[in-house]
Amino acid sequence: MTESRVAMLPADHRLACKRELVLADLGGEQWLRYSDPGPDDLPIRTIEEKFECVAAGTGITLVPQSVAEQYSRPDIAYVPVLDAEPDQVFLAWEAGRGAPLISHFARIAQEQG
């Protein structure tokens, strides 16, 4: 399945009150990245670090819409980014495992996606 992405910003960020953004609005910002950071990116290791860095104003990032729905904090704002590539969610399991529970779970996940 795919889902749209939103900008995760400190609540007091200059763009936090916008209804929607485009990627160009985020030019010049300090970006947080999990791995292979670019020269201007700040590397992080966990989702908890991501929340703390954003809340502290250290950097911003894009997250799936579901993160915004599940993790509400007064020190973080989420703003839709209209032209951001959608986040893709995949379900995978070992080819040799054909347990009925796995098949049932995969069917339900596909129906929900």
CA gap 98, 7 in Å, rounded:
39
Structural domains for the chain = 2-86 (3.40.190.10)
**Tell me: the pLDDT tens digits for 68-77?**
999 999 999 9
**Tell me: the pLDDT tens digits for 18-64?**
999 999 999 999 998 876 656 666 778 888 999 999 999 999 999 99
Give the helix ranges, DSSP H, for the chain: 47-55, 65-70, 100-112
